Amino acid sequence: MNIVTEVNDWISMRKKMANQTIGFIPTMGNLHAGHMSLCERSKYENDVTIVSIFVNPTQFNNQHDLMHYPRTLENDIEQLTKAKVDYLFAPHAESMYQDHYEIQVMETELSKVLEGEHRPGHFNGMLTIVLKLLNLVRANKAYFGEKDYQQLLLVKKMVASLFLSTEIIACETIRNENGLALSSRNSRLDKEQLDTAEHFSALLRSHLNDENVIAELIKLGFKVDYIVQKWQRRLGAVVLGDVRLIDNVNYN
């Protein structure tokens, strides 16, 4: 696997990939089976698979969350090498934000609800870095998990609105054997909290109405930001200890 950390080096390397189909998986590292399933699909559908690892500071409205976001680059490289990923692009913040974040991407409707309401500025940072990465990689297809469903909708909207050529591929959420959506933040939960967290996805899938789901989650010790039905989904965001978890399920 080729590992590239400098933007200019990446731009030079990208020029050598003409006439190859490219699949791209943008990540913030601390890779798990969900990320690896995206890599597997990309390898099946494309000539070249590229993964980026970049803990994007501009999408964290909570500096404590940014400081404690798990960083496991050595293990991530090991997993990607084993999966035969072709390129890892792991740039530094200084090179990705040479403008000091003076230029931002903003969406004015979809980004204002749910995660946007509870995490001010989060989606500006997310869309800005995704646009930068899509411009640098110029992939045929980019793969996003459905766990971050609002993010997925916003990325699709941005790509369509700005006439980008990359096709955004939505991939089903990968869960553990008890239904908990895999997330890098799960690694910050202790064993007891992990057992409790599994009730989150189970209650989202239940036939209880939203108000009763909220009541049950509170009884279990969760702080609930929202449980809501939207986009043919039931979506939720909760905090357990100091770890914030999001999930969604099909709910027609």
Domains and CATH numbers, the chain: 2-171 (3.40.50.620), 184-246 (3.30.1300.10)
* Mean pLDDT within 152-173: 98
pLDDT the model gives residue 77? 98
Q: Are 70 and 30 contacting, i.e. CB atoms less than 8 angstroms apart?
A: yes
- On the question of pLDDT at 252 being above 80, the answer is no
For 246, the enclosing helix (H) or strand (E) is strand 243-250
Could you say which DSSP state residue 176 is in?
-
**CA distance linking residue 218 with residue 247, whole number of Å:** 16
Show the tokens assigned to 82.
């084993």
Is 43's pLDDT higher than 80? yes
pLDDT tens digits, residue range 6-22?
999 999 999 999 899 99
| DSSP-based three-state secondary structure for 92 | coil
**Mean of the pLDDT values across residues 39-64?**
96
Q: Tell me what percent of the residues of the chain surpass a pLDDT of 90.
A: 95
Asked whether the predicted pLDDT for residue 105 surpasses 80, the reply is yes
Does residue 122 carry a catalytic annotation? no
**pLDDT one-digit tens code per residue, 60-89:** 988 888 998 999 999 999 999 999 999 999
Contacts 24+ apart (CB under 8 A), 99-107: 101/58, 101/125, 101/128, 103/128, 104/58, 104/128, 105/131, 105/158, 107/154, 107/157, 107/158
> What's the confidence (pLDDT) of residue 64?
86
Query: To the nearest whole number, what is the mean pLDDT of the chain?
Result: 96
Measured N-to-C along each axis, helices 191-205 and 210-219 cross at an angle, to the nearest 10 degrees, of 170
**How confident is the model over 118-161, as pLDDT tens digits?**
999 999 999 999 999 999 999 999 999 999 999 999 999 999 99
Sheet holding 87-89, edge to edge: 2-4, 87-89, 48-53, 22-27, 141-145, 167-171
| Residue from 32, 35, 122, 199 carrying the catalytic annotation | 35
Answer whether residue 39 shows pLDDT above 80.
yes
Distance CA 187, CA 115 (A): 21
130 close to 155: Cβ distance less than 8 angstroms: yes
* Residue 145 confidence (pLDDT): 97
Confidence of residue 251 (pLDDT cuts 50, 70, 90): confident
